[in-house]
Amino acid sequence: MRWLPLLLLPSLAHAGFVVEPYLQRASETEISILWESDDGDAELTWGTTEVADTPADDVAWASAGGGTMHAVRLTGLTPGARAWYRVRAGATELGPFDFIAPEPGPTRIVAMSDMQQDGSRPDQFRSVIDDGVLPWLDGDATTADLVLIAGDLVDNGWSYSQWADTFFAPAAPLMRHVPTYPVPGNHEANTPYFFDYFELPTNGTDEHWWHFDHSNVRVIGLDSNTGFVGETQLTWLQGVLEETCADDAIDFVFAELHHPYLSELWLPGENAWTGQVVRRIEQFSTDCGKPSIHFFGHTHGYSRGNSRDDQHLWVNVATAGGRIDRWGEYPQADYTEFVTTQDEYGFVVVDVDDGDEPWFRLRRVTRGDAEIVRDNDVTDDITIRAGNAPPTTPSALAPAGDDAPAPDGLTLVASAFADPDGDGQSAAHWQVSADCSAWDALAFDRWWQDRNEYFDEDRQAGDDLSDAFVDSLEPVTAYCWRVRYRDAGLVWSPWSEPTAFTTGTSVWTSNLLENPGAEQDLDEWTVLEGTVESVESNECAGGTAYEGQRYFAVGGICENESDFGLAEQRQDLTLWIPTIDDGRATARLQGYLSDYGGDDEPGLLLEALDANGAVVASVGPVTSLSPSWVAVDEELPLPVGTRSLRVQLQGTRNDGSDNDSYIDAVSLKLRLDPVGAGDDDDSTDPPDPTNPASNCAGCGAGGNLGWLLLLPLGLRRRTGSARAPQI
């Protein structure tokens, strides 16, 4: 037991009680009941009727906050039977309260986190319980079997009064009927209060990590806080998973810990150690055929994601009271793994069946936000079945054989989705390889899910997942491609048969810009005004690079920040003068823009210049006010007389001390149409892609490198993903 000096007791809801009775550590025949009184005068009686008059001995000790803690371990319970209890502290008696002893069979779990009190909405957690959870349970809390809390129960773990007033008091109507299992968050700060108040399984280490079984579910609690992450806990976890794999009575594993591996709403909250946990549980599910979930919090909003290759869910069960992390407020990213992220209050309900074909159903129940109140609407609903039959193997339709698609503008097309047990489709995974028998070194490897609800928009709306746009292959090169489909229960079909094809000549040149993503500091870029920096991901409290390790901070975030930043790079076009002056050249500007919180304004500008450096045509500046990476894709037909191109990076500070204008992955390409495409020249034969000089009469020995528009572009599909989690 760890002790603190005597502090003033918090205000009491009922005289004699500091914390009203609540349930802990239940098994089929035993359960613990704890409470805190303001002195040692207390007792508990219980029974199988509401009379509840059988006395039970309690263990009492001085609480970490200066009151008296009491714990009663009831034994001899009948699995599945209802029991009642009463508790007296001083002159006040509470009860009778009922509970149901655990038994094998269907299980209902309520999961939530981050209920620490928000000063602007101090009653939010109480509302989540009284207006959300209890009505969802039809007013009978005993219809739930377990409550899991993924950390941050209070705002300040060292504040004694917060435990009673902002956590236990609002949670009492639920916790007096249902055993509750929390894990510590960062706001608990590893204080004695957490470990004094909760009686958790002792099969791990000092209640920091533990596990228990309820029916066919194994629940694992972990501590993701600094000082406890490391190999010791991971080794323990691996041992528990190996035991679980061999245990035929367990069908599912649900783990809970506080910190996310990936977080769409709040990138600074990501924790790389959690990623090690996730990888171990993923491997367990695949090797053992037992689906799994890891619940987490820390980011104040709901997210549900899925591992790509494994039957494993990632579920952020926040926020049950802590101030919402709003879209546009922090560095954010759209991760392929997540199908939905919502900045809202709410909780999660998981129903589990242990029949011959076990399954679980997870639902998100939302309470809305400060602007839009929602009354227990279900915004996410997924059912996972153990032993689920895979979808039908898809067929690769096109390209195939003698097709010669443009390497930077082709669309992979597959057959329609089909599933033997009627499940819908949830994802498609596409791969392109240079070798039909080798799929470890890939030219293209992408997967998309059926939903991508991000920043209040479903970015996958209307996509039937039967095709994929590819713009990154080499010209005149042999490839193979394949696809697999996933059903709504997260089971993949076998891969389609590899299908061979050869690309044609390229539509666009390669990127004409040097150092397009700041990976070589500011080499090749000329700073014209203010501060421009090459910044590593998460350096100086900035964002995460769109690709690679660095990005441009135009205006500066590390030092000498300026209200406006400007840098440029020029590209000489002498090589392509004849094609330009024939009116057959188009420039294409691409890149990605973001900022920190949606206020500062990055921009990209493309200008065509004549021989004297005068601007003869331009596009942009294209700007964005978004903390997520936003793609820029603009084309500029080059006027006769164009002799060079100028690309400018711009950043304008609209708010705050830093100029958080971020730019990455800038690209400048040319499209050179063949002779005969829009003019009166009789020569319409396509040039020889193996002979650059044939593509541009009069261009000199360098030619124009065989970049021709031969085929139309397909439907373009783009998603951004930045991955640089930190502890």
Give pLDDT tens digits for 512-544: 999 999 999 999 999 999 999 999 998 998 888
- Rounded to an integer, the average pLDDT of 591-617 is 94
- Cβ(572)–Cβ(644) below 8 Å: yes
Structure tokens at 479: 């490839």
CB neighbours of 714 closer than 8 A, spacing ≥ 6?
409, 410, 411, 467, 469
Using the structure block, give the residue that is written with the tokens 């031969």: 710
Pairing assessment for the beta strands 42-47 and 82-89 based on DSSP bridges = antiparallel
Q: Do domains 104-385 and 396-502 have the same CATH topology?
A: no
The domain 104-385 is placed in CATH, from the list 1.10.3720.10, 3.40.250.10, 3.40.50.300, 3.60.21.10, at: 3.60.21.10
The Cα 133–Cα 317 span in angstroms is 13
The Cα 531–Cα 536 span in angstroms is 16
Pairwise pLDDT comparison (11 vs 229), residue with the higher score: 229
Residue 13 one-letter amino acid: A
- Rounded to an integer, the average pLDDT of 22-49 is 96
CB atoms near residue 255 (< 10 Å): 27
Structure tokens at 669: 């390409």
Confidence category of residue 255, pLDDT binned at 50, 70, 90 = very high
Chain mean pLDDT for the chain: 90
pLDDT at 304 > cutoff 60 = yes
Q: For 467-485, how does the pLDDT look when each residue is reduced to its tens digit (9 = 90+)?
A: 999 988 989 999 999 999 9
CB neighbours of 348 closer than 8 A, spacing ≥ 6?
110, 111, 112, 295, 302, 315, 317, 362, 363, 364, 365
Q: CA neighbours within 13 Å on the CB side: how many for 577?
A: 11
- 3-class secondary structure, 198: coil
Question: pLDDT above 90 covers what percent of the chain?
Answer: 83
Q: What are phi and psi of 419, to 5 degrees?
A: -140, 135
- Rounded to an integer, the average pLDDT of 275-290 is 98
- Rounded to an integer, the average pLDDT of 387-398 is 97
Q: CA neighbours within 13 Å on the CB side: how many for 710?
A: 22
Q: Is the dihedral of CA 284, 286, 292, 296 positive or negative?
A: positive
Q: For 167-206, how does the pLDDT look when each residue is reduced to its tens digit (9 = 90+)?
A: 999 999 999 999 999 999 999 999 999 999 999 999 999 9
Q: Of 482, 484, 468, 471, give the one whose Cα is nearest residue 412.
A: 468
Q: At what angle do helices 231-246 and 272-288 cross, to 10 degrees?
A: 20
The Cα 596–Cα 704 span in angstroms is 41
The Cα 384–Cα 367 span in angstroms is 25
Q: For 618-664, how does the pLDDT look when each residue is reduced to its tens digit (9 = 90+)?
A: 999 999 988 888 999 999 999 999 999 999 999 999 988 889 999 99
The Cα 526–Cα 522 span in angstroms is 8
Q: To which H or E segment does residue 246 belong?
A: helix 231-246
- Rounded to an integer, the average pLDDT of 497-517 is 93
Confidence category of residue 584, pLDDT binned at 50, 70, 90 = very high
The Cα 84–Cα 49 span in angstroms is 6
- Rounded to an integer, the average pLDDT of 254-278 is 96
- Cβ(393)–Cβ(496) below 8 Å: yes
Domains of the chain, by residue range, sit at 104-385, 396-502, 526-695
pLDDT at 9 > cutoff 80 = no
Q: Worst-scoring range by mean pLDDT, 137-146, 375-384, 586-595, 716-725?
A: 716-725
Q: For 667-696, how does the pLDDT look when each residue is reduced to its tens digit (9 = 90+)?
A: 999 998 887 544 433 333 333 333 333 333
- Rounded to an integer, the average pLDDT of 492-504 is 97
Using the structure block, give the residue that is written with the tokens 């990213």: 333
Confidence category of residue 720, pLDDT binned at 50, 70, 90 = very low
What does CATH list as the number for 396-502? 2.60.40.10
The Cα 277–Cα 223 span in angstroms is 11
pLDDT at 725 > cutoff 90 = no
Q: CA neighbours within 13 Å on the CB side: how many for 261?
A: 22
The Cα 727–Cα 725 span in angstroms is 7
- Cβ(291)–Cβ(491) below 8 Å: no
- Cβ(252)–Cβ(109) below 8 Å: no
The domain 526-695 is placed in CATH, from the list 3.40.630.30, 2.60.120.260, 3.40.630.10, 3.40.1280.10, at: 2.60.120.260
